[in-house]
Amino acid sequence: MPILSAKGVAHLYNKGTPSQSKAIYDINIDIEEGELVGIIGHTGSGKSTLVQHFNGILKPECGQIIVDGTDIWSSKKATREARFKVGLCFQYPEYQLFEETVYKDISFGPKNMGLSEEEIDKRVQLAAEYVGLPKSLLDKSPFDLSGGEKRRAAIAGVIAMQPKVLILDEPTAGLDPRGRDKILEMIKSYREKTGSTVLLVSHSMEDVAKIATKVLVMNNARVEMYGTVDEIYSRSEELREIGLNVPQVSKIFEILKKSGLNIGSAYTVEKAAERILSLGGASV
Amino acid sequence: MIKDITIGQYFNGNSVLHRLDARMKIVLTVAFIVSIFFCKNFWSLGLMVLFTIQTVIISRVPLKMVLKSIKPIAIIVVFTSLLNIFYISGGTTLVDGRYIDITTNGIFTALFMATRIVCLVVISSMLTYTTTPTMLTDAIEKLLSPLKIFKIPVSTLAMMMTLALRFIPTLIDEIDRITNAQKARGANLDDGNFIQRIKALVPIIVPLFVSSLRRAIELADAMDCRCYGGPGRTRMKQMKLRFRDFAALAIMVAFIAGIIVLNYYFGAVLIK
Ligand SMILES: Nc1ncnc2c1ncn2[C@@H]1O[C@H](COP(=O)(O)OP(=O)(O)OP(=O)(O)O)[C@@H](O)[C@H]1O
Ligand SMILES: [Mg+2]
């Protein structure tokens, strides 16, 4: 049974006004437990709109969202449960921080779940550890942190709810390469340690290639493709047609393959290095 | 819900009303609002309604948008009408109840009140629908500039108004965004008693304040960088009165004269 599925979902913005627009439609997707799904697509293709349906922030115009076997709009209780089962971290989440200390801010979600003090404390410590926030920062005001630290504190606030599905909407937007790698590394190890399902919205096909197991491609308000990284990235022609660029290394590898070199394929620099080295018989 | 606010909303168009000088439009709107309270009988009231409808037609603003501006005051109109019907005495008594009487005076007053409020709101919204907020504040600045003699910082006040209007849509978007983010962390905004609901607003108001302050500081810096506050600020678009503005003025004068004549000719409808 898939942990998360959408059946015939569509959403309209500004319904009933002249500016009414179809943000997504005809969405049918099943996501299995434990996957790390990268969601890519050009600007305005409906990625953010789609993920906001999974925890019931947006209500679909038609169709169903099923989390862990229950339709999240079947009852008020089901909707509220979906909020905790599916943790959604918005684009630029640092602007949601509000408490006096980072510790209190991270504990906001668990508190809303009605957990005991000890449980909350345990979860906050664990979440801070996952995102790599040092203990000394927990007693600071969230407004005194650096941009990257704020981002991590905000993500910790969602992780502390220990959702079965974690959704991150462009968690690396606006960070420097090192901050980006840290966040990606954190997402990867979080999934490995907890076994939860993760959905990662991203503009960078390199980032997705680095950590995802599956890829979902959005185009013009619809799901264009869904499959493993290898399946999707090998269709570079189609990807280019809808305005997405496969990573530079994969382009090089394609050219090498065309010129008759039996080298396989690679989508990240690390993987490429491995392949090239193995060509010469050496190992990394 | 919060997106229904229409104050300061501009409807893009190119009607005569859109092209009128903003200063003239403000003066005429004020004149109309004053004249609303002159109407003493159904003839002058009718003239006022006709004038309002004609204005809406000329502006080419869709009827739907005009109705939207009335929607928020519908409750006030109904409520004051009911109060008037039940509490005003005089004239012929229609219903003689135990505690309340319904009289012709009550019904007439209610009718007058309701029509006046609706016309007032429609005409004022015509002003904002056909004038961009920037033009509006420019015009207010010009109209108030005589106050500079009394050392009142008119330009600064006008700039503050422009900025406030400019940031209303931004703030509304921001509230939506923050609310969603906190809902995703399980914030419960819809249940609970009064105190609990107020408390539930803290996670929304604090980030809103923080980002508003940040935005204000950035804006102030940006304005400083462009030398705002230097002496002798001039306008890119100079306002000039044209023939159509004087024509509009003439029409308004004729309208007010018409109301006075009708009042005088037919007398007041309310019986003392
Ligand atoms: N609050 C809103 N009101 C009206 N239209 C909206 C709103 N949010 C998004 N849209 C529209 O819906 C469509 C999908 O937007 P969405 O934010 O889901 O795109 P996205 O794929 O997340 O883009 P990006 O990569 O830039 O974040 C866009 O055409 C956008 O203009
Ligand atoms: Mg987005």
What tens digit of pLDDT does each residue of B234-247 get?
Answer: 777 788 889 999 99
**What are the pLDDT digits (tens) for A11-53?**
998 877 667 889 999 999 999 999 999 999 999 999 999 999 9
Q: What is the pLDDT of residue A23?
A: 92
Between CA A85 and CA A74 the distance in angstroms is 15
Between CA A212 and CA A250 the distance in angstroms is 16
Return the structure tokens found at B237: 């678009």
Q: Which residue of A has its CA nearest to B206?
A: A98
Between CA B236 and CA B33 the distance in angstroms is 31
List beta partners, residue A5. A30, A66
Chain B residues with beta carbon closer than 8 angstroms to that of A161 = 185-186
Between CA A60 and CA A66 the distance in angstroms is 12
Q: How far is CA A29 from the centre of its chain?
A: 16
Q: Using the predicted structure, report yes or no on whether residue B195 has a pLDDT greater than 90.
A: no
Q: In chain B, what percentage of residues exceed pLDDT 90?
A: 36
- Helix, strand, or coil here: B7? coil
Ligand nearest to the CA of A58: 1
**What are the pLDDT digits (tens) for B35-80?**
988 888 889 999 999 999 999 999 998 888 888 888 888 888 999 8
Cross-chain residue pair A161–B185, CB shorter than 8 Å: yes
Task: Determine the distance separating the centroid of ligand 1 and the alpha carbon of A82, expressed in angstroms.
Answer: 22
Q: What is the pLDDT of residue B237?
A: 76
Between CA A80 and CA B187 the distance in angstroms is 10
Between CA B22 and CA B162 the distance in angstroms is 15
Between CA A118 and CA A138 the distance in angstroms is 16
| DSSP code at position B95 | E
**What are the pLDDT digits (tens) for A132-153?**
899 999 999 999 998 889 999 9
Q: Using the predicted structure, report yes or no on whether residue B124 has a pLDDT greater than 50.
A: yes
| DSSP code at position B269 | S
Average pLDDT value over all residues in chain A: 90
**What are the pLDDT digits (tens) for A113-135?**
999 999 999 999 999 999 989 99
Please state the CATH superfamily assignment of the domain spanning residues A4-243 in this structure.
P-loop containing nucleotide triphosphate hydrolases (3.40.50.300)
B114, B80 contact by CB (below 8 A): yes
Using the atom order of ligand 1, give the atom closest to the CA of residue A50.
18
Q: What is the pLDDT of residue B272?
A: 53
Chain A residues with beta carbon closer than 8 angstroms to that of B177 = 90, 95
Cross-chain residue pair A96–B210, CB shorter than 8 Å: no
Give me the residue spans of the domains in chain A: 4-243, 247-284
Gap from B272 CA to chain A (nearest CA, Å): 49
Residue nearest to atom 31 of ligand 1 (CA): A44
Give Cα separations from A74 to A5, A40, A61, A66, A82 (angstroms): 15, 30, 14, 10, 11
Q: Residue type at B255?
A: F
Q: Using the predicted structure, report yes or no on whether residue B8 has a pLDDT greater than 70.
A: no
Confidence of residue A1 (pLDDT cuts 50, 70, 90): confident
Q: Using the predicted structure, report yes or no on whether residue B172 has a pLDDT greater than 80.
A: yes
Q: What is the pLDDT of residue A53?
A: 95
Between CA A98 and CA A150 the distance in angstroms is 11
Ranking A101-115, A254-268, B26-40, B54-68 by mean pLDDT, the lowest is A254-268
List beta partners, residue A86. A165
| DSSP code at position B229 | T
- List helix spans (H) across chain B: 16-19, 22-36, 42-59, 63-70, 74-87, 104-130, 133-144, 154-184, 194-200, 202-225, 243-266
H or E stretch at B103: strand B101-103
Task: Determine the distance separating the centroid of ligand 2 and the alpha carbon of A147, expressed in angstroms.
Answer: 19
Give B157-166's long-range contacts (Cβ < 8 A, gap of 24+).
Answer: B161/B137, B162/B133, B162/B134, B162/B137, B163/B219, B165/B8, B165/B133, B165/B136, B165/B137, B166/B133
Confidence of residue A284 (pLDDT cuts 50, 70, 90): very low
| DSSP code at position B41 | S
Q: For residues A241-263, give the mean pLDDT.
A: 84
Using the atom order of ligand 1, give the atom closest to the CA of residue A46.
18
Cross-chain residue pair A97–B207, CB shorter than 8 Å: yes
List beta partners, residue A251. none
Ranking A24-28, A73-77, A255-259 by mean pLDDT, the lowest is A255-259
Ligand nearest to the CA of A169: 2
Give me the residue spans of the domains in chain B: 1-132+238-272, 167-230
Tell me which residue in A90, A99, A113 faces B184 most closely, judged by beta carbons.
Answer: A90
Cross-chain residue pair A158–B182, CB shorter than 8 Å: no
Q: For residues B125-135, give the mean pLDDT.
A: 87
Compute how many other C-beta atoms are within 10 angstroms of the C-beta atom of residue B155. 14
Q: What is the pLDDT of residue A107?
A: 94
Q: What is the pLDDT of residue A104?
A: 94
Choose one of A17, A42, A49, A61 to mutate for the ligand 1 pocket test, by most ligand atoms within 8 angstroms of C-beta. A49
Measured from CB, residues less than 6 Å from any atom of ligand 1 are A 13-14, 21, 23, 41, 43-49
Between CA A79 and CA A67 the distance in angstroms is 10
Q: Using the predicted structure, report yes or no on whether residue A249 has a pLDDT greater than 90.
A: no
Q: What is the pLDDT of residue B261?
A: 92
Return the structure tokens found at B187: 């914030």
Q: What is the pLDDT of residue A40?
A: 94
Q: What is the pLDDT of residue B1?
A: 41
Q: What is the pLDDT of residue B243?
A: 92
Q: Using the predicted structure, report yes or no on whether residue A85 has a pLDDT greater than 90.
A: yes
Q: In chain A, what percentage of residues exceed pLDDT 90?
A: 62
Is B181 at the interface with chain A, CB within 8 A? yes
- B18 or B6: which carries more pLDDT confidence? B18
Q: How far apart are the first and last CA of chain A?
A: 39
Chain B residues with beta carbon closer than 8 angstroms to that of A59 = none
Residues with Cβ within 8 Å of A61's Cβ and at least 6 positions away in sequence, in order, are A10, A11, A12, A15
Average pLDDT value over all residues in chain B: 86
Between CA B261 and CA B200 the distance in angstroms is 58
Chain B residues with beta carbon closer than 8 angstroms to that of A157 = 185
- B157 or A218: which carries more pLDDT confidence? A218
Q: What is the DSSP string of chain A?
A: --SEEEEEEEEEESTTSTT-EEEEEEEEEEE-TT-EEEEEE-TTSSHHHHHHHHTTSS--SEEEEEETTEETTSSHHHHHHHHHHEEEE-SSGGGG--SSSHHHHHTHHHHHTT--HHHHHHHHHHHHHHHT--GGGTTS-GGGS-HHHHHHHHHHHHHTT--SEEEEESTTTT--HHHHHHHHHHHHHHHHHH--EEEEE-S-HHHHHHH-SEEEEEETTEEEEEEEHHHHHT-HHHHHHTT----HHHHHHHHHHHTT------SSHHHHHHHHHHHTT---
Whose CA is closest to B16, among B130, B125, B132, B129? B130
Q: For residues B98-125, give the mean pLDDT.
A: 86
Statement: the pTM of the whole predicted model exceeds 0.90: no
Task: Determine the distance separating the centroid of ligand 2 and the alpha carbon of A237, expressed in angstroms.
Answer: 24
Tell me which residue in A95, A113, A158 faces B207 most closely, judged by beta carbons.
Answer: A95
Confidence of residue A10 (pLDDT cuts 50, 70, 90): very high
Cross-chain residue pair B181–A161, CB shorter than 8 Å: no
Q: What is the pLDDT of residue A72?
A: 93
Q: For residues B18-31, give the mean pLDDT.
A: 94
Residue nearest to atom 24 of ligand 1 (CA): A43
